[in-house]
Structure 1
Amino acid sequence: MDAHCINYADTGFFSKTITDYLDNDPALAPFYGHRPTFEGFEQLLKTKKVTADREVLVEVLTEQYNRLSVVSSELSVLSTQNIEALRANNTYTITTGHQLNIFTGPLYFIFKIATAIKLARQLKERFPDKNFVPVYWMASEDHDFAEINHTKTGDKKIEWPMEAAGATGRLATKTIRQALNQYKGVLGLAGNAPQLAEIVETAYTRFDKLADATRYLVNALFGEYGLVIIDADDARLKQQFAPIIEQDIIGQNSFKHISDSNAALQKLGVHIQVNPREINFFYLLDGLRERIVFENNVYEVLGSDIRFTEAELRTEIEQHPERFSPNVVMRPLYQEVILPNLAYIGGGAEVVYWLELKSNFDHYGIGFPVLILRNSGMLVTKEVASHIKNTGFMIADIFKPADALKTGWVKQHTEQNLTLNAEWLEMLGVFEKIKAHAAHIDATLAPSTDAIRARLKHAIESLERKMLKAEKRNHEVRLEQIDKFKQALFPGGGLQERSQNFGPFYVKWGQQLITDLIENFEPLEFKFTVLTE
């Protein structure tokens, strides 16, 4: 594939806060640690204090990967080596995370992981005496099923209809057959469809829980590149986080610190992504993930009869830390406690909400990772590329509105004069004479003449728009190509990566799609990458 890189600011799809962060706006400096540069990583490596229990981490990961042996006796050599490497003090992780979207959900799920793999490679080249392991953190404790139970290919929405409760990673996959058949039907039989169909069939029928199914699917796509997949819904990992769980629920520290940071960020014009609660943990059991609230000197689990005194709560955390699930503002802290992590890779909204968290990390003495905006991209097939080429546009032009592209194309290719500028200049001369004549009779008539001129100017501009519209009809066939490539690349007016599934592209390109993404993404250059066939 050929790669075309465009500044994020030039796409019109990224917030001012994100572009300010990438441009090193000093006003944002208090809200993060090191810059997303090789120099920033070098500085962090000199001071990084790892809190993770490496032996426990390897033990948990090894057990989780052993579950894949149910259907595959061969695991990626590189992933296995990377897990073992985590025992060493000179090994660090580069982490991205996402919910357990069925069939991986939108394209940016794939883009996040490709970014992590590429950055880990580049850091190894820059710091050869250290090891860097790309990690996909499965958001297995998330409970928002409506956000993950569907995916889109073209205009077709494939949905897993089910009444779900509790952590999504623990959901049974036995009812996904209808959605699975629909997905395989969309893939068809051509190209690499059979290969991908076999992967998803195995993932969702040979594994009983969604977390295990997702691990198999992601490993099938990325295992050969050394990706390590972690499910942090584990009692041994939660045990390391237990002291902070206890301190934060009882002291409500995160609420105080993050609220103060949010107030400071709002003064800078930052749109706040998440707001903390007084208690930022859920109580987690099979089929249950509900908020913990403190009322009448008792800790209550909403939607249940579960209650704790403070003493009982401390005991419950000590004996069953796995029952306490961090919400969106505490999950990042949990991640940094149990991983020897250097960087977190997220989308624009994620990076902004991480900016809200720095003061809470400081309070607990946990190192803050380098924040990396994931690579954003667009996949352009030969068919779509031909439409762009036939209209004569450059890749950078495709981000302009369709109507602006059509207007520009018509004005460039028409043989007609679509403006009335010359005629209007002649009319202005006449109006000056009329205005002088009227003012000679009565000075108060001059404003009336100006009003008539303004109305006529408006009428002339309206006529020009009609002339342009008429000329567009004369080029209707060619202009339809603009609509075709705009709809393909910006479905519903949004970025392709935010709605479309990777499946049809994998059918076309196979595993080469993943390889090309990793090869062409440049995580620290912060450019939008358009990949054309």
Structure 2
Amino acid sequence: MQKHSLSYRETNYFTAVITDYLDQKENVKPFYELFPTLDNFGKQITSKQENYNAAGGGEKRTALINVLEEQYRDLQTSEATAKNIALLANDKTFTVTTGHQLNLFTGPLYFLYKIVTAINLAADLKKAYPEYNFVPLYWMATEDHDFEEISFFHLHGKKFQWNPPDSEKTGGPVGEFPTEGLQDVFELFSAEIGNSKNAEQLKIWFEKAYLQHENLADATRYLANELFGEEGLVILDAHRPELKRFFTPYVKEELFQQLSFRNVKETSETLEKNGYAVQVNPREINLFYMEQGLRERIIEKDGKFFVHEQEISWTREELEKLVDEHPERFSPNVLLRPLYEEVILPNLCYIGGGGELAYWLQLKALFESVKVTFPILLLRNSVLLQSKKQDQKRQKLNISLQELFLKPHELINRKVRKISNIDIDFSPQKEHLVEQFSGLYELAEQTDKSFLNAVKAQEVKQLKGLEHLEKRLLKAQKRKLEDEVSRIAALQQDLFPGKGLQERHHNFSEFYLEYGEHLVVGLLEQLRPLDLKFDILSL
């Protein structure tokens, strides 16, 4: 693989709060503790170790290992993963964590990039701090409940959609969804990919994951372990009472004192004052109630507590007792889940995409209020994969890597102007016209000021005329250069499906078919977590 990199700002695909965070702008500094550098990880180790140990770290580590050993019981566990699970007993062992939904067959490509970032960061930290241990951890979002977001993947421009025979079973947490109905997806997928060696491997993974496991959590764990187990990845489903009991004090504070609403609302208002869009708006209670097939938010009204759109209610005393007896029935939403992660894990860093880091930046005050160490926030690696053939087309069309990221009409207009033998840029004429009218404004000032509006109207009219003529000539030239325009458009559409980033659309199978195991190996070799660059890889 060959690698070229751009700054995230140059891509124009990332929000202001993320690009300003990466540039360490003053406006963003109040919303995080330590920026992701190797030196700062040393400070984070000290802070997390003291905080975690003071809050029963040894007991949490024991519970964490017991849960992981139970969850890996039926999996073929690699030596590297087994070693990492055992190392979690040591108070000099820390995790670096990424989380992701249980998308069908991993969903978009960035599932791989998240986990590769975590694996490579753990390796980099071990080199920098050899006296400590670092475990890459994938937190499965088993408690999410948005089936529509996870029920499909894209391959070869086609959408492979999972349609369960019993839609009533897709109303609770996604980890519990039965894998019924995926035989149909498997057959369509198998027919699409053919019978090459790499295709057969993909079929084995799909069949064993989804047709030989009863629920989505077990299927996803199997698949992630197959892809990254040899690299020591540890996969956790934290929807377990043994772990949630450590979170019960925070659940009670959320229920009865609106823990996150108070802190996050104020931070969100400050972010908006600084010119940034807020990713998530907090509710008064940021918890769901869960039973079999049910995950609905909890609402408080006049001192009594209800489950939204359900005939379930409690008094405060009843609810407090239920939290103690069944902590697994209480599920943090997107704003409270980060706190749950950091309470139960000896975690140093959370690795996420731009949207995830945007809502983490809303949470620092919440962490401070409950005296839990705020993690270092690391933007996951982002990648554009292009074949050698695509790269050759790009070079032949004389398109720079940075120009690839322009909006389609901007790129085409720019290239048409560049390859045309006619100069269709009327900027000099417009500047000359403005200069001419500045003289007319002076003349009107000296003679009759009532003519100023007439001069202005004429200036606007003539500038619009030039712009109209420029557009007509550009359109005519596009027709004349139709072949070049169509090739530019086709290349960009291939690399930016639906005018968006490839990593948010294509499934990894599209590239595994061509490159097999070299795909993951190449990503592990090329992606550097702390470079904080957008990478273009030529395969």
**Structure 1 residues 228, 387: CA separation in 2 closer, same or farther (over 3 Å shift)?**
same
Pick the aligned partner of 1:170 from 148, 170, 176: 176
Pick the aligned partner of 2:106 from 99, 104, 107: 104
- Which residue number corresponds to residue 528 of structure 1? 534
Aligned positions of 1:447-462 closer than 5 A: 455-462=461-468
Separation in 1 of the partners of 2:441 and 2:364?
66
The aligned amino acid for 1:33 is E
The aligned amino acid for 1:314 is E
Aligned positions of 1:42-441 closer than 5 A: 42-48=42-48, 49-50=51-52, 51=55, 52=57, 53-68=60-75, 74-162=76-164, 163=167, 164-190=170-196, 192-418=198-424
Q: Contact 2:288–2:332 at 8 Å: present in 1 too?
A: yes
Separation in 1 of the partners of 2:321 and 2:212?
38
**Structure 1 residues 193, 419: CA separation in 2 closer, same or farther (over 3 Å shift)?**
same
Pick the aligned partner of 1:476 from 445, 457, 482: 482
Separation in 2 of the partners of 1:339 and 1:302?
30
Separation in 1 of the partners of 2:364 and 2:509?
37
Structure 1 unmatched ranges of 5 or more: 69-73
**Structure 1 residues 272, 424: CA separation in 2 closer, same or farther (over 3 Å shift)?**
closer
Aligned positions of 1:19-58 closer than 5 A: 19-48=19-48, 49-50=51-52, 51=55, 52=57, 53-58=60-65
**Structure 1 residues 252, 402: CA separation in 2 closer, same or farther (over 3 Å shift)?**
closer
Residue 12 (1) aligns with residue 18 (2): no
- Displacement, 1:447? 7.5
Separation in 2 of the partners of 1:428 and 1:327?
56
The aligned amino acid for 1:20 is D
Q: Contact 2:412–2:489 at 8 Å: present in 1 too?
A: no
The CA deviation string for residues 387-443 of structure 1, in whole angstroms up to 9 with x for no partner, is 21220222222012233333333333333454678999999999999999x99x999
Bigger mean CA offset, 48-57 vs 234-243: 48-57
Please give the TM-score of this superposition, normalised by the length of structure 1. 0.92
The aligned amino acid for 1:459 is G
The CA deviation string for residues 297-340 of structure 1, in whole angstroms up to 9 with x for no partner, is 32222233322222222221111111111111111111111111
The aligned amino acid for 2:91 is N
Bigger mean CA offset, 244-253 vs 344-353: 244-253
**Structure 1 residues 92, 411: CA separation in 2 closer, same or farther (over 3 Å shift)?**
same
The CA deviation string for residues 467-489 of structure 1, in whole angstroms up to 9 with x for no partner, is 33222223222222211111011
The CA deviation string for residues 179-231 of structure 1, in whole angstroms up to 9 with x for no partner, is 23233333333351111111011100111010000000111111111110000
Q: Contact 1:387–1:484 at 8 Å: present in 2 too?
A: no
Bigger mean CA offset, 217-226 vs 305-314: 305-314
Separation in 2 of the partners of 1:37 and 1:425?
47
Q: Contact 1:388–1:481 at 8 Å: present in 2 too?
A: no
Q: Contact 2:88–2:94 at 8 Å: present in 1 too?
A: yes
Q: Contact 1:293–1:301 at 8 Å: present in 2 too?
A: yes
The aligned amino acid for 2:21 is Y
The aligned amino acid for 2:63 is V
**Structure 1 residues 419, 8: CA separation in 2 closer, same or farther (over 3 Å shift)?**
closer
**Structure 1 residues 333, 472: CA separation in 2 closer, same or farther (over 3 Å shift)?**
same
Count of aligned positions: 528
Structure 2 unmatched ranges of 5 or more: none
Separation in 2 of the partners of 1:330 and 1:121?
29
- Match of 2:512, SS state, is helix
Q: Contact 1:21–1:28 at 8 Å: present in 2 too?
A: yes
The aligned amino acid for 1:356 is Q
Q: Report the RMSD for the aligned CA atoms in angstroms.
A: 2.9
Separation in 2 of the partners of 1:430 and 1:193?
68
**Structure 1 residues 443, 166: CA separation in 2 closer, same or farther (over 3 Å shift)?**
closer
- Match of 1:173, SS state, is coil
Q: Contact 1:261–1:357 at 8 Å: present in 2 too?
A: yes
The CA deviation string for residues 441-500 of structure 1, in whole angstroms up to 9 with x for no partner, is 999889768755754554344333333322222322222221111101111111111122
Separation in 1 of the partners of 2:512 and 2:113?
13
The aligned amino acid for 2:68 is L
The aligned amino acid for 2:128 is R
Identity %: 41
Separation in 1 of the partners of 2:280 and 2:435?
60
Separation in 2 of the partners of 1:522 and 1:90?
24
Q: Contact 2:47–2:373 at 8 Å: present in 1 too?
A: no
**Structure 1 residues 318, 469: CA separation in 2 closer, same or farther (over 3 Å shift)?**
same
**Structure 1 residues 424, 281: CA separation in 2 closer, same or farther (over 3 Å shift)?**
closer
- Displacement, 1:348? 0.9
The aligned amino acid for 2:269 is A
Aligned positions of 1:510-529 closer than 5 A: 510-529=516-535
Separation in 2 of the partners of 1:173 and 1:450?
68
- Displacement, 1:120? 0.8
The aligned amino acid for 2:288 is F
Separation in 2 of the partners of 1:358 and 1:428?
51
Bigger mean CA offset, 18-27 vs 176-185: 176-185
Separation in 1 of the partners of 2:474 and 2:257?
66
- Displacement, 1:99? 0.8
- Displacement, 1:154? 4.1
**Structure 1 residues 341, 464: CA separation in 2 closer, same or farther (over 3 Å shift)?**
same
- Which residue number corresponds to residue 71 of structure 1? none
Q: Contact 2:417–2:424 at 8 Å: present in 1 too?
A: yes
- Match of 2:80, SS state, is helix
- Match of 2:73, SS state, is helix
**Structure 1 residues 359, 446: CA separation in 2 closer, same or farther (over 3 Å shift)?**
closer
Q: Contact 1:191–1:508 at 8 Å: present in 2 too?
A: no
